[in-house]
Structure 1
Amino acid sequence: MQITQYTDYALRVLIYLGACPERRVTIKEIAETFDISRSHVMKIVNQLVTLGFVEGTRGKGGGLRLNRAPAAIGVGEVVRLMEPGFDLVDCFRAEPNCLLSPSCRLKGALQTALQAFLAALDEVTLADLIVNQPRLRDMLGVIALTPAP
């Protein structure tokens, strides 16, 4: 199983925000930390805001912060919502092109594997990923600043 880079970056954004609960974080800060273009981070953040994971405030003193408690953000939920679809192989598509599709059992096996993959992710929350916040902050080079209102 593999998630897209887009979803990987979305999880990184959430982890970063979870490591900085006391303040608002800028898109520029996230982009520089992970060496991702600001426009790409902005696109990801816009989707995270739309989905209700992140709250964004514009203007002076603005920035990003989590819109839910880390324990209320499931990794499986994030992956399901950020991924455009888990078409692992051709036969997962609405109109498969594979000649074997009508009688092949691979789709069933892969569907079972996908369900197990997502079930494992459902057991993990953002809180689990940021449990060692001091070490995480150190690795990210995050310094606590002024508290978010």
Structure 2
Amino acid sequence: MKLTEYTDYTLRTLIFLGLHRGELVTIQQIADSYDISKNHLMKIIHRLGQDGLVETVRGRSGGVVLRKAPEDISIGAVVRASEQDFALVECFSRANNRCVLSPVCRLQAGFREALEAFFKVLDGLTLADILGNAAEIAPYIPLPEPRLLEKRT
């Protein structure tokens, strides 16, 4: 199983915003810090805004900021919202399943159990857990210097 680039960038964006909690940062700053496409990030920020995880401020001095506290952001929920398809094998799809073994195959149940275990782990993680070593993460994200999880006032 491999998560999409979209999900990867979504998680990196949340880490960046968590490190700069309470600060307005621009999409360009995030793009520059990770050397990723600003166009991809604009779609991600839009979706995170729709999901209520970030707040965007338009205009010359605008930017984006976390709307929720890192401890209230479930990594499992973010991954579920970011990914389109968790059909690990063809038989997970009722519409496109052509596998003749499906009616009797025990592998399908094993894959379902593995996927549930995957999400059980991610559901137990929050953005705050991921940012638990913020001082170690910060040097890898060059722009701007984060205030390391100071609470928004």
**What is the TM-score of this pair, normalised by structure 1?**
0.91
Offset at residue 85 of structure 1 (A):
2.2
User: 1:23-81: CA deviations, max 9, x gaps?
Assistant: 11111111111111111111111111111111111102210111100000010111111
Percent of counterpart pairs with the same letter? 44
Aligned residues: 148
1:54-65 to structure 2, matched below 5 A, reads: 54-65=54-65
User: 1:90-111: CA deviations, max 9, x gaps?
Assistant: 0111221222222212111000
Offset at residue 144 of structure 1 (A):
4.2
Structure 2: runs of 5+ lacking an equivalent: none
Structure 1 runs of 4+ aligned residues shifted over 3 Å read none
Offset at residue 134 of structure 1 (A):
2.5
Structure 1: runs of 5+ lacking an equivalent: none
Whether the aligned pair in 1 keeps the contact of 2:31 and 2:37 (CA below 8 Å) is yes
Offset at residue 116 of structure 1 (A):
0.3
Q: Tell me, yes or no, if structure 1 residue 80 matches structure 2 residue 70.
A: no
Matched residue of 2:132: which SS?
A: coil
Offset at residue 3 of structure 1 (A):
1.6
Identify if the C-alpha distance between structure 1 residues 144 and 8 changes in structure 2 by more than 3 Å, giving closer, same or farther: closer
User: What is the RMSD of the two structures over their aligned residues, measured on CA atoms?
Assistant: 1.8
Give the aligned partner of residue 39 of structure 1: 39
Give the aligned partner of residue 103 of structure 1: 104
2 CA distance for matches of 1:46 and 1:59? 15
Amino acid at match of 2:72: A
Moved more, 101-110 or 113-122: 101-110
Give the aligned partner of residue 7 of structure 1: 7
Amino acid at match of 1:105: R
Amino acid at match of 2:122: L
Matched residue of 1:65: which SS?
A: strand
Q: Tell me, yes or no, if structure 1 residue 20 matches structure 2 residue 20.
A: yes
